[in-house]
């Protein structure tokens, strides 16, 4: 069971889980918006950070699951992935001038 406790596994799970949640949110909510709206940079710069921020929330659940199963290296990888995604949201907002 020790092979399932690694930082790489945590980073991978911490990136893949938000991508899956993003895809679910996209197909459930955003598919009604026309492509014209998504091509507009002001709307895209507003929607993208919001969706990424909401997609990071499942990492909290994943972190607590790893923590309760005593998989500390995997939990560390999830935290690293969350920080990477948070920096991505910050950079997106900084570039688009929403800060």
pLDDT tens digits, 8-56 = 999 999 999 988 887 787 777 665 555 444 555 665 566 667 767 777 7
pLDDT digits (tens, 9 = 90+) for 65-76: 999 999 999 999
Contact at 8 Å (CB) between 55 and 18?
A: yes
Helix (H) or strand (E) holding 38: helix 35-39
The pTM of this model reads 0.74
Q: Quick one: which H or E segment has residue 1?
A: none
């Amino acid at each position: 069971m020790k092979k399932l406790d690694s930082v790489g596994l945590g980073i991978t799970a911490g990136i893949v889980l938000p991508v899956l949640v993003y895809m679910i949110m996209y197909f459930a909510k955003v598919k009604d918006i026309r492509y014209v709206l998504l091509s507009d940079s002001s709307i895209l710069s507003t929607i993208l950070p919001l969706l990424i921020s909401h997609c990071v929330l499942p990492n909290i659940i994943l972190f607590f699951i790893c923590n309760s199963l005593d998989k500390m290296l995997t939990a560390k990888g999830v935290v690293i992935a969350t920080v990477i995604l948070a920096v991505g949201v910050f950079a997106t907002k900084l570039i688009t001038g929403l800060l």
